[in-house]
Every structure is written in C-alpha cells, then in structure tokens.
Chains A and B, each alone.
Chain A
Amino acid sequence: MILSYIEIADGDIKKTSLEVAQMAAELAKKMGDSALAIAIGKADVTKLALIGNYGISTLIYVDTDVSISKNIATLVANIATKNNASTVIFPKSIMADAVAASVAIKIDAAIVNNVVEIPDTANGFSVKRSIYTGKAFAKVEIKQAKKVLVLRKNAISTQPTSDIASVETYKEDISTNHLKITETNKTKGDILLTDAEIVVSGGRGLKGPENWHLIENLAKALGAATGCSKPVSDMDWRPHHEHVGQTGVKVAPNIYFAVGISGAIQHLAGVNSSKILVAINTDPEAPFFKAADYGIVGDAFDILPKLTLAAKNYR
C-alpha cells in the first residue's frame, strides 16, 4: 500500500498535495500496489473527494482540529500500520516535514526529503532528491522495507481526470499535552509566498522601502505574492519572512519576477525550482539574466507601472 498524506488549508486540499496524490497513484501502478490517501483537519468532504481526480480511489478522513505535529504523526502512523503501508508520501511544508520525521521513526522507515521524481523501482528502490538548495540533485538508494518520502513542490506534473474518491471517516482519540500553543498570528488575505503561483520580488534596485508600492501593485494586478532579496531584508526595508533565498524562504511558483535583484548565487538557490524566471534590471550584466527565461534591461521605476497596467489584460 502506498499512502499519500493530503494537507488541508482553509477547508480545502492544498495544491502541493495534488502532486503527492498523483505520485502515490503512479508509484502504486508501477509496483502493482494500491494507493490510499489520508487527510487530517477540517475540510468539506465533497472537496476532499476530488482527490480522485489524481488517481486516488479511497481517502481516509480524520475530522479533527489537532494542530500539533506529534498528534498528527500518531494518527498517520496508526493508519499506515493498519493498512500495511510500505511507503508514505508527504508534501513539503513546515508541518508535513515535522509529521514525516515522526512517522518515519514510528513505523521504522527510511526517510528522504525533497524528492523530485517518481521513484525508480526497476532495480531496487531509488529516488532523486534536490540538494544544495536546488543547486544539484542526488540519486539515493533505499534498502529499508518501509519508506517515507517528502515531495518537493512543482516536481510532478498532474493530469487530473474526473474520477471521484470515496471518503471514509476515521476516528481515534489522540491527546498529548506536552506543549501549549498560547497564541496564533496569521496574516489574513495575503497570498502565501510558498504557495503562490506567481511571485514578484524586489531588490536593492528599488532604492528604498518607500518605493515598494511598485512591487505590490504589480503583484496585486497578477494575483501574486511579494518577496525580496537578502540585502533588502537585512536593511529592514522589508520583513525577514519575505526574504527569498538559500537562507530565507524557498519558492517554486510558475513565474518568478526578480526586479532590481542582481542574482547572487544564494538568491538563485531559493528560486531555482520556479518554472519561469523573469529578470528586470538596469544592468545588462546582472547574473540573474543568465538564469532567467525572460529579461528586460531597464529601469524598474519605468517598467513596473507599465507592466502593472498591462497585467490587467492577462488576469
């Protein structure tokens, strides 16, 4: 049995989990095995059933508001054991990473993170993973009978069908009170940098925080999230959680706009999983152009307003 872990956000399946479902279904098919999914949280059952579009026929749903990774891991491990799961696949996220590590120990599995391809089962079991923040890949062999894999975003292309999964509810009382969450602050309304399909990032070329509306306006017109380079967050022009790069947030959108960002290796490492990179810079020698798919040599102050105006015809 190949078990896929489906993450829920705001009552619906998170997009990254669709890739996990597709990978589990394809791996099961390849191995002559069956695929199962598990979702834990608060969601609309009719929405969960759409996981069938990605090749999963049965989803086990645990309707609960638990938010502590350890408790979620106990549920996943118990369901994995009951269904004799050989492989459990997770999407990459802060929460899923923590759950995956815990599940690996509970079911005595090997664990590999940042997987970017469906495992190669022709000769044993090997997986390709991203390393050095996307600067390279490693082929890793797993000999352990049980495996936990964490799938990197944008790694698997999905081909949705119109199939619907049957949703089975599962109940189990899990409670540990080893830690207490005393406060939760979530920014409402903003598009999450890690989930965004389009990201518009600004660098030192923007000359100061007072000019950030230029970045924000383009982002708004495109329905994009905003990011920034390391120097910009170091200078406190923008908050640290917007810093995109090897030591900041790693993003993998369909389109990444780098505006006034030269393209230091450490910044590129945080964006190289994006499908399309667009560079806008006054300096034609900026290293970002070497990594980009599309480029405009020009002044951000002139180009951003024009793009913002034109973007409205494309969204």
Chain B
Amino acid sequence: MKILVCITHVPDTTSKITFTDNNTKFNTQNVQFIIGPYDEYALARAVELRDAQAGSSITVLHVGTAESENTIRKALAIGADDAIRIDAEPLDAMFVATQISAIAKQNKYDLILMGRESIDFNGNMVHGLVAEMLQIPVISPIMKLDITGNIATMHKEIEGGKEVIECQMPLVAGCQEPIAEWKIPNMRGIMSAKSKPYQVIAPVETQNVALTLSYDLPVAKSGCKMIDASTPEKLFELLKNEAKVL
C-alpha cells in the first residue's frame, strides 16, 4: 500500500500571533513551528498501517519554503519513508491542492491522508479540493481508519454524532484524534531521518489563487466587568439588560 501524508508547518497552539511589515507579513520571531497537530494524527495512523502491511510505504508531502525543513525531517523521524517538498509559499488552499494533486497523479497513492484542517488558515478545504481534482472519494474528519484488502472502514464525525463509512481505495481522508496516538521519534528514527530520500520539486503553475493582501488582529475587549461572588445572579441581569444576549 502506498500512502501519501500531507503535512503543514504551523505555529504551535500557544503562539501569540502578530504581524510585521505594515501588517503584510506574519511575525515568526519567538514562534515555535510544528507539524500541524491534525496532520500528525494522520502521520501516526499511516505509520501503524504501513507497519501492519508488508511492502507498504509512506511519502510525506509538504508545500512550503526551505524554512519547513525541520518539520519535514521530524515527519521522517516519526516514520515516513521519504519526503517531497514543493518549493513554494503555500498561497491558498487551491494552490496547495493543485500541487498535491499533481504529485498524486504521477505517483498513484492508495491512501492520501492529511489533517482535518491546518491550524493557521483553518480552511478545511485542501482534502476536498484534492479529491475532486483526482476524482476520488474524500472522507473528513475521520476518527478511526482500518484497512481490509482494498476497503477502508472509517468513523467520520458528523454534527451531533458519527457515521461508519466503507470506501474502496484510492481515497483522500482528513484525520483528527483519536485516530492514533502521536509517535515520539526515537534516536534511530532521528538518525535515519537525515539519510532518507528527500526531494525538492518546483511547483506547477496555477492562476486560481486568492492572495492575502494584509492581516489584522481582533479588537481588544474593553475590559471585564466583575460581579461579586455573593450575588452571582446579577450576572443574568447584565446579560439581559446590558449585553442583551439573554
């Protein structure tokens, strides 16, 4: 089984978000970058599936600049067999999906896994776009994934519950916990990551891109109105008459 795992390179969830250059660039100073948490779940499950079926392999794919190098090496250390980096700024979801589907058309993967969404732009779009470009099914977000022969059985989150879905491969899936436990790379993994095949490829061209012009931050709250703990019921009076939300 050939598995493609697409990963993002994103600020960790504790990061304070600020911008520079007149609000046109993300300020990377003091920001720790990580593999997208949802992508890491996808990778962890891919490692388990690969190890369970002899002759399987995992390629990790990332669309980004050389700054993402450490994130990709970590994915190799966790257990991917080889890596491809598309050397370009990930401009928008359509751009990224175009790059992923171009690679997938060449290499014919059975399973294309990624996180349910990136935690920077939260688009939740790339898996759906890739699947439509490749004309294969997409299931997202999934919390369980098992493979028997050529059939994938998945638990998909729906509003207020879940669905159990069976689907023939190839397919695209967006993953979330608890699909697998994150894998902590061991020393052997870290050492071997340095020598695993790592290709850098130029992007394919596309005109359909929604370009970001500028950024801004939410307006700060004017301050918290405190209510005395001895009369908590006053809160409802304020919610009703002042905030007018009750």
Q: Using Cβ atoms and an 8 Å threshold, which residues of chain B touch A272?
A: 218
Q: Using Cβ atoms and an 8 Å threshold, which residues of chain A touch B211?
A: 140-141, 143
Known: A247-B38, A295-B226. A179 touches B218 (CB 8 A): no
Contact B132 A126 (CB under 8 A): no
Q: Using Cβ atoms and an 8 Å threshold, which residues of chain B touch A73?
A: 132
Cα(A255)–Cα(B244), bound, Å: 10
Contact of B128 among A102, A195, A241 (CB under 8 A): A102
B172 to chain A, nearest CB (A): 10
Known: A105-B132, A139-B213, A141-B213. A306 touches B232 (CB 8 A): yes
Q: Using Cβ atoms and an 8 Å threshold, which residues of chain A touch B55?
A: none
B192 to chain A, nearest CB (A): 29
Q: Using Cβ atoms and an 8 Å threshold, which residues of chain A touch B246?
A: 255, 314-315
Q: Using Cβ atoms and an 8 Å threshold, which residues of chain A touch B235?
A: 278, 294, 296, 307
Known: A95-B158, A310-B233. A111 touches B210 (CB 8 A): yes
A33 at the interface (CB under 8 A from B): no
Known: A266-B14, A276-B245. A94 touches B159 (CB 8 A): yes
A194 at the interface (CB under 8 A from B): yes
Contact B165 A187 (CB under 8 A): no
Q: Using Cβ atoms and an 8 Å threshold, which residues of chain A touch B184?
A: none
Contact A142 B161 (CB under 8 A): no
Q: Using Cβ atoms and an 8 Å threshold, which residues of chain B touch A138?
A: 121, 212-215
Contact of B160 among A182, A190, A264, A307 (CB under 8 A): A190
Contact A192 B160 (CB under 8 A): yes
Cα(A285)–Cα(B178), bound, Å: 33
A135 at the interface (CB under 8 A from B): yes
Contact B245 A294 (CB under 8 A): no
Chain B residues touching A, majority SS: mixed
Contact B232 A182 (CB under 8 A): no
Cα(A298)–Cα(B229), bound, Å: 6
B56 at the interface (CB under 8 A from A): no
Contact B227 A178 (CB under 8 A): no
A113 at the interface (CB under 8 A from B): yes
- Of the 9-residue stretches B59-67, B68-76, B82-90, B133-141, which lies at the interface with chain A? B133-141
Q: Which residue of B lies closest to A253 (CB)?
A: B245
Q: Which residue of B lies closest to A312 (CB)?
A: B236
- Of the 9-residue stretches B1-9, B15-23, B104-112, which lies at the interface with chain A? B15-23
A30 at the interface (CB under 8 A from B): no
Binary contact readout A141-153 vs B (1 if CB under 8 angstroms, 0 otherwise)? 1111000000000
Binary contact readout A273-285 vs B (1 if CB under 8 angstroms, 0 otherwise)? 0011011000000
Contact A110 B94 (CB under 8 A): yes
Binary contact readout B122-160 vs A (1 if CB under 8 angstroms, 0 otherwise)? 111101110111000111110000000000000001111
Known: A137-B215, A194-B159, A297-B226. A183 touches B164 (CB 8 A): yes
Enumerate A185-235 residues with CB–CB distance to B below 8 Å. 185-187, 190, 192, 194-195
Contact A135 B218 (CB under 8 A): yes
Contact A275 B245 (CB under 8 A): yes
Cα(A73)–Cα(B125), bound, Å: 14
B194 at the interface (CB under 8 A from A): no
Q: Which residue of A lies closest to B236 (CB)?
A: A314
Contact of A131 among B120, B133, B159, B165 (CB under 8 A): B120
Contact of B178 among A113, A130, A240 (CB under 8 A): A240
Known: A111-B94, A295-B227. A240 touches B17 (CB 8 A): no
Question: Is the interface on chain A under 10, 10 to 19, 20 to 34, or 35 or more residues?
Answer: 35 or more
Known: A101-B129, A183-B163, A184-B161. A114 touches B236 (CB 8 A): no
Q: Size of chain B's interface in residues, with CB distance under 8 A?
A: 74
B225 at the interface (CB under 8 A from A): yes
Known: A105-B129, A181-B164. A97 touches B236 (CB 8 A): no
B132 to chain A, nearest CB (A): 4
Known: A181-B165, A278-B235, A307-B233. A113 touches B125 (CB 8 A): yes
Contact A181 B163 (CB under 8 A): yes
Enumerate A142-185 residues with CB–CB distance to B below 8 Å. 142-144, 178-185
B78 to chain A, nearest CB (A): 18
A121 at the interface (CB under 8 A from B): no
Contact of A132 among B92, B120, B224 (CB under 8 A): B120
Contact of B210 among A112, A247, A298, A310 (CB under 8 A): A112
B213 to chain A, nearest CB (A): 5
Contact B240 A293 (CB under 8 A): no
Q: Which residue of A lies closest to B133 (CB)?
A: A105
Q: Which residue of B lies closest to A137 (CB)?
A: B216
Cα(A290)–Cα(B222), bound, Å: 9
B167 at the interface (CB under 8 A from A): yes
Q: Using Cβ atoms and an 8 Å threshold, which residues of chain B touch A297?
A: 226, 229
- Give A residues with C-beta under 8 Å from B: 9, 69-70, 73, 93-95, 97-98, 100-102, 104-106, 108-114, 126, 130-144, 178-187, 190, 192, 194-195, 240-241, 245-247, 254-255, 264-266, 269, 272, 275-276, 278-279, 289-299, 302-303, 306-307, 309-311, 313-315
Query: Can you give 8 A-B contacts (C-beta < 8 A)?
Result: A101-B125, A135-B17, A138-B121, A141-B210, A183-B163, A294-B226, A296-B235, A313-B236
The 3 closest A-B pairs by CB, nearest first: A101-B128, A298-B229, A310-B233
